[in-house]
Amino acid sequence: MQLQDILYSQGFGTRRVCAGLIQQGLVQVYEPGQPATPVRCLQAAAEFAAEGLRFQVQGVDWPYAGKAYLMLNKPPATECSQKPSTYPSIYTLLPSPLRLRPQKGAVQGVQAVGRLDQDTTGLLLLTDDGKFIHRMSSPRHHVAKVYEVTVKHPLDARQVSQLLAGVVLDDDPRPVRAAACEAVSECHLRLTLTEGKYHQVKRMVAAVSNRVEALHRSQIGGLRLPDDLAPGQWRWLSAADLASMVGTQAAVCSQA
The active-site residue, picked from 5, 117, 119, 156, is: 117
Q: Which of 181, 188, 195 is nearest to 144 (CA)?
A: 195
Measured CA to CA in angstroms, residue 67 lies from 29, 131, 161 at distances of 20, 11, 42
- Please give the angle made by the CA atoms of 195, 126 and 28, to the nearest 5 degrees: 165
The C-alpha angle 93, 56, 12, rounded to 5 degrees, equals 55
- Does the annotation mark 117 as catalytic? yes
Cβ–Cβ under 8 Å, residues 73 and 121: yes
Cα gap 23→42, rounded to integer Å: 5
Find the radius of gyration of the CA atoms of the chain. Answer: 21
The residues pairing with 27 across neighbouring beta strands, listed in sequence order, are 57
How far apart CA 8 and CA 30 sit, in angstroms, is 18
Backbone angles phi, psi at 124, to 5 degrees: -135, 135
**What DSSP element (H or E) covers 220?**
strand 212-220
Q: Do 246 and 221 meet the contact criterion of CB atoms below 8 Å apart?
A: yes
Q: How far apart are CA 185 and CA 178, in angstroms?
A: 18
What is the set of active-site residues?
117
